[in-house]
Amino acid sequence: MKNRVLFIFLSVLSIYMVYMINTIEVFPMKGMIADFRSPFLSIPASFLFLILGIAFLYFAFKKKLDIPEYLKCPTCKETFTYTNLKDGKCPNCKDIDAIDIEEYYKE
Ligand SMILES: [Zn+2]
């Protein structure tokens, strides 16, 4: 969930860079001045950030489709596969949401 927000942010940032390169053209970057008035610099730079923007967007929405293979119930500590669950909830404890096993061990 946190990763998706980060990837969307990075994607927006990359697209914003493309916009910056093609409008402002000259702007300070980490203490030095980046001059994008030359098409030899602005075209590859725009292209690079556009690719980055698309790649970050791809990762942001790829994450969403990932279904965890194993899940754990925080109450009864039982491990389940996704197909054993009823709407993502523990079949033993009823209204308790099972969580991704990786998330479980992180906490
Ligand atoms: Zn349970």
Distance from the alpha carbon of residue 104 to the mean position of ligand 1, in angstroms: 13
What's the pTM?
0.50
Sign of CA dihedral 48, 33, 15, 11: positive
> Is it the case that residue 90 has pLDDT exceeding 90?
yes
| Cα 68 to middle of ligand 1, angstroms | 17
Structural domain spans, the chain: 2-65, 70-106
State which amino acid sits at residue 97. D
Instruction: Please tell me the distance between residue 65's alpha carbon and the centre of ligand 1 in angstroms.
Output: 24
Half-sphere exposure of 81 (CA within 13 A, CB side): 1
pLDDT tens digits, 44-78: 888 999 999 999 988 887 755 567 788 999 999 99
